[in-house]
Amino acid sequence: MNDAIDLTRKRDRDFTAAVEAQSGQNVSTCYQCGNCSAGCPAGFVYDLQANQIMRGVQLGLKDQVLNSRSIWMCLSCSTCSLRCPNNIDVAEVMETLRHMARKEGRVAVPKVEKFWFSFLDTVRKFGRTYEIGTMVLYMLRSLRVFTDVDLAPQALAKQKLGFKPHSIPNGGAEAVGRICAAPAVSCPPAVPIVVSGEVIPAQALPLFARYGIGRVAVVKD
Protein backbone atom coordinates (compact mmCIF):
# COMPACT_ATOMS: atom_id res chain seq x y z
CA MET A 1 0.00 0.00 0.00
CA ASN A 2 1.32 3.41 -0.93
CA ASP A 3 1.27 6.05 1.80
CA ALA A 4 1.04 9.11 -0.41
CA ILE A 5 0.33 10.47 -3.87
CA ASP A 6 3.50 11.04 -5.86
CA LEU A 7 3.44 14.76 -6.61
CA THR A 8 6.53 14.53 -8.81
CA ARG A 9 4.61 12.78 -11.57
CA LYS A 10 3.37 14.58 -14.67
CA ARG A 11 -0.01 16.25 -14.23
CA ASP A 12 -2.82 16.26 -16.78
CA ARG A 13 -5.28 19.03 -15.97
CA ASP A 14 -7.68 17.86 -18.68
CA PHE A 15 -7.94 14.54 -16.81
CA THR A 16 -9.74 16.16 -13.88
CA ALA A 17 -12.28 17.80 -16.18
CA ALA A 18 -12.82 14.54 -18.09
CA VAL A 19 -13.48 12.53 -14.92
CA GLU A 20 -15.93 15.12 -13.63
CA ALA A 21 -17.75 15.30 -16.96
CA GLN A 22 -18.05 11.53 -17.40
CA SER A 23 -18.96 10.76 -13.78
CA GLY A 24 -21.20 13.78 -13.25
CA GLN A 25 -19.45 14.38 -9.92
CA ASN A 26 -17.74 17.55 -8.68
CA VAL A 27 -14.53 15.91 -7.52
CA SER A 28 -13.02 19.32 -6.84
CA THR A 29 -15.21 19.69 -3.73
CA CYS A 30 -13.49 16.78 -1.97
CA TYR A 31 -11.62 18.18 1.05
CA GLN A 32 -9.89 14.95 2.09
CA CYS A 33 -11.85 14.17 5.25
CA GLY A 34 -11.04 10.49 4.76
CA ASN A 35 -14.54 9.17 5.46
CA CYS A 36 -14.54 7.19 2.21
CA SER A 37 -11.30 5.39 3.09
CA ALA A 38 -12.31 4.83 6.72
CA GLY A 39 -15.46 2.92 5.72
CA CYS A 40 -14.14 1.06 2.68
CA PRO A 41 -14.40 -2.75 3.18
CA ALA A 42 -11.86 -3.39 0.40
CA GLY A 43 -9.31 -0.80 1.50
CA PHE A 44 -6.94 -3.43 2.83
CA VAL A 45 -6.14 -4.56 -0.74
CA TYR A 46 -5.85 -1.05 -2.24
CA ASP A 47 -2.54 0.40 -3.33
CA LEU A 48 -4.13 3.87 -3.09
CA GLN A 49 -6.97 4.54 -0.67
CA ALA A 50 -10.23 6.07 -1.93
CA ASN A 51 -9.39 9.56 -0.70
CA GLN A 52 -5.97 9.29 -2.36
CA ILE A 53 -7.65 8.35 -5.64
CA MET A 54 -9.87 11.42 -5.30
CA ARG A 55 -6.85 13.60 -4.58
CA GLY A 56 -5.03 12.15 -7.56
CA VAL A 57 -7.97 13.06 -9.79
CA GLN A 58 -7.99 16.60 -8.38
CA LEU A 59 -4.29 16.99 -9.13
CA GLY A 60 -4.56 15.53 -12.62
CA LEU A 61 -2.28 12.57 -11.85
CA LYS A 62 -3.76 10.51 -14.66
CA ASP A 63 -1.06 7.84 -14.92
CA GLN A 64 -0.93 7.11 -11.21
CA VAL A 65 -4.72 6.92 -10.88
CA LEU A 66 -5.48 4.86 -13.99
CA ASN A 67 -2.62 2.43 -13.30
CA SER A 68 -3.85 1.85 -9.74
CA ARG A 69 -5.13 -1.54 -8.58
CA SER A 70 -7.65 0.21 -6.36
CA ILE A 71 -10.08 1.18 -9.11
CA TRP A 72 -10.37 -2.51 -10.05
CA MET A 73 -10.61 -3.84 -6.50
CA CYS A 74 -13.47 -1.45 -5.63
CA LEU A 75 -16.63 -3.43 -4.75
CA SER A 76 -19.05 -0.67 -5.82
CA CYS A 77 -20.81 -1.06 -2.46
CA SER A 78 -21.29 2.75 -2.29
CA THR A 79 -20.28 2.97 1.38
CA CYS A 80 -17.91 5.77 0.40
CA SER A 81 -20.68 7.64 -1.41
CA LEU A 82 -23.01 7.41 1.58
CA ARG A 83 -20.31 8.68 3.94
CA CYS A 84 -19.22 11.64 1.82
CA PRO A 85 -20.22 14.93 3.54
CA ASN A 86 -20.14 16.73 0.18
CA ASN A 87 -22.44 14.17 -1.49
CA ILE A 88 -19.81 13.07 -4.00
CA ASP A 89 -20.68 9.68 -5.47
CA VAL A 90 -17.19 8.26 -5.01
CA ALA A 91 -18.30 4.84 -6.27
CA GLU A 92 -19.41 6.45 -9.54
CA VAL A 93 -16.02 8.13 -9.85
CA MET A 94 -14.31 4.75 -9.38
CA GLU A 95 -16.58 3.22 -12.02
CA THR A 96 -15.72 6.04 -14.41
CA LEU A 97 -12.01 5.53 -13.79
CA ARG A 98 -12.36 1.80 -14.57
CA HIS A 99 -13.95 2.59 -17.93
CA MET A 100 -11.29 5.18 -18.71
CA ALA A 101 -8.49 2.79 -17.76
CA ARG A 102 -9.96 -0.05 -19.83
CA LYS A 103 -10.31 2.16 -22.92
CA GLU A 104 -6.60 2.99 -22.65
CA GLY A 105 -5.58 -0.63 -22.08
CA ARG A 106 -4.60 -0.04 -18.45
CA VAL A 107 -5.99 -3.04 -16.61
CA ALA A 108 -4.04 -3.45 -13.39
CA VAL A 109 -6.03 -6.54 -12.30
CA PRO A 110 -6.98 -8.54 -15.43
CA LYS A 111 -8.92 -11.20 -13.50
CA VAL A 112 -11.30 -8.58 -12.14
CA GLU A 113 -11.94 -7.22 -15.63
CA LYS A 114 -12.71 -10.74 -16.88
CA PHE A 115 -15.21 -11.29 -14.07
CA TRP A 116 -16.68 -7.83 -14.67
CA PHE A 117 -17.40 -8.60 -18.33
CA SER A 118 -18.70 -12.08 -17.50
CA PHE A 119 -21.22 -10.60 -15.08
CA LEU A 120 -22.29 -7.83 -17.48
CA ASP A 121 -22.69 -10.29 -20.37
CA THR A 122 -25.15 -12.42 -18.40
CA VAL A 123 -27.14 -9.40 -17.23
CA ARG A 124 -27.22 -8.03 -20.78
CA LYS A 125 -28.54 -11.34 -22.12
CA PHE A 126 -31.04 -12.33 -19.42
CA GLY A 127 -31.99 -9.00 -17.86
CA ARG A 128 -30.68 -10.11 -14.46
CA THR A 129 -27.72 -11.95 -12.98
CA TYR A 130 -27.22 -15.64 -13.77
CA GLU A 131 -24.68 -17.00 -11.32
CA ILE A 132 -23.69 -20.24 -13.07
CA GLY A 133 -23.44 -18.48 -16.43
CA THR A 134 -21.22 -15.80 -14.90
CA MET A 135 -18.98 -18.44 -13.29
CA VAL A 136 -18.63 -20.43 -16.52
CA LEU A 137 -17.77 -17.36 -18.58
CA TYR A 138 -15.24 -16.24 -15.99
CA MET A 139 -13.60 -19.68 -15.86
CA LEU A 140 -13.26 -19.76 -19.64
CA ARG A 141 -11.88 -16.23 -19.86
CA SER A 142 -9.45 -16.62 -16.98
CA LEU A 143 -8.53 -20.25 -17.82
CA ARG A 144 -9.28 -21.15 -14.20
CA VAL A 145 -11.52 -24.05 -15.15
CA PHE A 146 -11.69 -25.65 -11.71
CA THR A 147 -12.04 -22.46 -9.68
CA ASP A 148 -14.36 -23.06 -6.68
CA VAL A 149 -15.80 -26.21 -8.28
CA ASP A 150 -15.70 -27.85 -4.85
CA LEU A 151 -18.24 -25.29 -3.60
CA ALA A 152 -20.81 -26.08 -6.30
CA PRO A 153 -22.40 -29.15 -4.58
CA GLN A 154 -22.96 -27.17 -1.38
CA ALA A 155 -24.46 -24.21 -3.25
CA LEU A 156 -26.74 -26.47 -5.30
CA ALA A 157 -27.87 -28.37 -2.22
CA LYS A 158 -28.88 -25.11 -0.54
CA GLN A 159 -30.63 -23.99 -3.75
CA LYS A 160 -28.30 -21.00 -4.03
CA LEU A 161 -27.64 -21.72 -7.70
CA GLY A 162 -30.00 -22.56 -10.52
CA PHE A 163 -29.03 -24.31 -13.74
CA LYS A 164 -31.71 -22.47 -15.71
CA PRO A 165 -31.50 -18.67 -15.96
CA HIS A 166 -34.51 -16.56 -15.05
CA SER A 167 -34.84 -14.43 -18.13
CA ILE A 168 -36.64 -11.08 -18.00
CA PRO A 169 -38.32 -10.12 -21.32
CA ASN A 170 -36.87 -7.10 -23.11
CA GLY A 171 -34.02 -6.88 -20.65
CA GLY A 172 -36.45 -5.93 -17.88
CA ALA A 173 -37.64 -2.71 -19.55
CA GLU A 174 -41.32 -3.42 -18.91
CA ALA A 175 -40.68 -4.48 -15.32
CA VAL A 176 -38.73 -1.30 -14.68
CA GLY A 177 -41.49 0.70 -16.30
CA ARG A 178 -44.11 -0.81 -14.01
CA ILE A 179 -41.97 -0.02 -10.99
CA CYS A 180 -41.47 3.55 -12.15
CA ALA A 181 -45.17 4.05 -12.76
CA ALA A 182 -46.45 2.42 -9.57
CA PRO A 183 -47.55 5.01 -6.97
CA ALA A 184 -45.87 4.51 -3.62
CA VAL A 185 -47.65 7.27 -1.71
CA SER A 186 -51.30 7.79 -0.81
CA CYS A 187 -51.70 11.05 -2.72
CA PRO A 188 -52.14 10.33 -6.42
CA PRO A 189 -51.43 11.45 -9.04
CA ALA A 190 -47.99 11.96 -7.48
CA VAL A 191 -45.63 9.14 -8.45
CA PRO A 192 -42.24 9.13 -6.65
CA ILE A 193 -40.01 7.63 -9.30
CA VAL A 194 -36.66 9.06 -8.23
CA VAL A 195 -35.12 9.22 -4.78
CA SER A 196 -32.61 11.71 -3.41
CA GLY A 197 -29.31 11.81 -5.24
CA GLU A 198 -30.41 9.88 -8.35
CA VAL A 199 -30.25 11.11 -11.93
CA ILE A 200 -32.98 10.55 -14.51
CA PRO A 201 -31.18 9.17 -17.59
CA ALA A 202 -32.33 9.67 -21.16
CA GLN A 203 -33.26 5.98 -21.32
CA ALA A 204 -36.06 6.62 -18.82
CA LEU A 205 -37.96 8.98 -21.13
CA PRO A 206 -39.56 6.24 -23.30
CA LEU A 207 -40.76 4.55 -20.11
CA PHE A 208 -42.33 7.78 -18.90
CA ALA A 209 -44.13 8.17 -22.22
CA ARG A 210 -45.33 4.58 -22.25
CA TYR A 211 -46.83 4.77 -18.78
CA GLY A 212 -48.31 8.23 -19.15
CA ILE A 213 -45.87 10.11 -16.96
CA GLY A 214 -45.90 13.60 -18.42
CA ARG A 215 -44.36 15.70 -15.68
CA VAL A 216 -41.66 15.06 -13.08
CA ALA A 217 -41.26 17.30 -10.05
CA VAL A 218 -37.86 17.87 -8.44
CA VAL A 219 -38.29 17.89 -4.69
CA LYS A 220 -35.57 19.19 -2.41
CA ASP A 221 -35.59 18.42 1.29
Enter the pTM of the model. 0.65
Torsion angle (degrees, nearest 10) of CA 22, 28, 34, 38? -10
pLDDT tens digit sequence for 123-135: 888 777 788 888 8
For the stretch 14-30, pLDDT in tens is 999 999 999 999 999 99
The domain tally of the chain equals 3
Judge if 48 and 95 occupy the same domain.
yes
Mean pLDDT to the nearest integer, 199-217: 69
206 is a domain residue: yes
Q: Is the distance from CB of 128 to CB of 119 less than 8 angstroms?
A: no
Question: Residue 110: CB partners within 8 Å, gap ≥ 6?
Answer: none
Q: For residue 201, give its domain range.
A: 173-210
Q: Which residues contact 129 (CB under 8 A, 6 or more apart)?
A: 119, 122, 123
| 29 within a domain of the structure (yes/no) | yes
The domain boundary, picked from 69, 86, 103, lies at 103
Of 90, 55, 56, 57, residue with least CA distance to 76: 90
